[in-house]
Structure formats: C-alpha cells, structure tokens
Amino acid sequence: MTLYKDRYRIETTRLKGWDYSANGYYFVTICTRNRECLFGDVVDGEMRLSAIGEVVQNSWQGIPEHFPNARLDEFVIMPNHIHGIIIIINPVETCHGMSLQRHHGMSLQKQQSNQFSKPKSGSLSMMINHYKSAVSRWCRKNDRDFAWQPRFYDHIIRNEKSRDEIQEYIVNNPMKWKLDKDNLANLYM
C-alpha cells in the first residue's frame, strides 16, 4: 500500500499500460463483501442458486445486451463469488488506429493509458461496474442485505492453452467447493 494525500490506498491489480477495452479474453472473479454466501449452495458438486444467485446469473448473461463488444465464454456462480470469461471484440476500425497483434490465435492489443483516468467506455471495468450495479440495484429494490467486495480480480488470457485451463477450472469449480479458499467453512477446519 502507498500513501496518497495522507491516506493509504491499495495498489491497482490491473496490468500497467494495458488497454482494458482492447480485444482479448479476460478471466474475472468477483466476490461478495466478506465472502458472504448469498448466491446459493453447492449440493453434490452442483450449484443451486438462491434468488440473488438467479439475478447474478441473469445479469451476467445480460452483459452483451449492454455492451455490444462483449461476448461471454464459460462462467459459474458460486455461493460467494462468480468466475467468468469475458471476450472483448471491437471492429478493427474502432481500435483507435492501433494494429491488432496475433498471439497464439488470440487477438491482443496494448496501449498506454492514464492510470488515474475514469474507466473507458466499453472497457472491462465499465462492464464489471455496470454488472455489479445492476445486481446491487435489484437487491436494494427487494430489501436484500447485499454488497460486493469493492474490487475484482482479472487475468488477461494470452493463449489458447491458458484459456482451456481456465475454462476447465470454471467448469469444475462447484465440484471443488469443499476445498475452495473462498469457502468460509474452510477457515474453521
């Protein structure tokens, strides 16, 4: 943590200099505040969604309706977090004149950006902010005590092998819930 204006702040986990509106595959994990299990339960290796869990799933599936440059790949709702892959696809002419590079069959783009600027339209941060807001809004309207963890984890998927491994991790996540570090029951074992 660094000191900024006499206050400590947590450093960003985003890749410095990366344009998060660039074409690419992004693995995302978003957790509930204090890892509260509000989205349902894992029963016999299968996730059974609660009412909030259904909203979490429907809102996730609605991301491409709000962001035409977004496609969804594998995702899973867990009791207190969600894992998913978001694919950002921009037409070549809207890529700010930057040429796209091919890297193991996956389109990637790197661009310098201001680390203190607001999230860019069509960027991963805008998508996640919109998504989290939609779920939070539903919970407030329906008198549900709910909050997200302030940040989210992301990983830029750079090749097909990594994508395949992450897809497998996502699909198998419910079967491994008993061992998951985000399973609060494991804290007391």
pLDDT tens-digit map of 42-75? 999 999 999 999 999 999 999 999 999 999 999 9
What's the mean pLDDT in 72-100?
A: 79
**Distance from C-alpha of 16 to C-alpha of 139, rounded to nearest angstrom:** 34
Q: Is the pLDDT at 91 greater than 90, yes or no?
A: no
Give percent helix, percent strand, percent coil of the chain, each to the nearest 5: 35, 25, 40
Picking from 13-17, 53-57, 77-81, 94-98, which range would have the lowest pLDDT averaged per residue?
A: 94-98
**Distance from C-alpha of 149 to C-alpha of 30, rounded to nearest angstrom:** 7
pLDDT in tens, 116-128: 455 677 899 999 9
The pTM (predicted TM-score) of the whole model is 0.78
DSSP string, 101-149: EEETTEEE------TTSPPPTTSHHHHHHHHHHHHHHHHHHTT----B-
Task: Please report where in the chains the tokens 């029963």 appear, as a residue.
Answer: 43
Q: Is the pLDDT at 142 greater than 80, yes or no?
A: yes
Q: Is the pLDDT at 172 greater than 50, yes or no?
A: yes
**Distance from C-alpha of 124 to C-alpha of 97, rounded to nearest angstrom:** 20
Three-state SS at 57: helix
Percent of the residues in the chain that have a pLDDT greater than 90, as a whole number: 61
- Distance of alpha carbon 44 from the chain centroid: 26
Q: Is the pLDDT at 15 greater than 60, yes or no?
A: no
**Is beta strand 24-31 parallel, antiparallel or unpaired with respect to 81-88?**
antiparallel
Higher pLDDT, 110 or 59: 59
* Residues 108 and 101 sit within 8 Å (Cβ to Cβ): yes
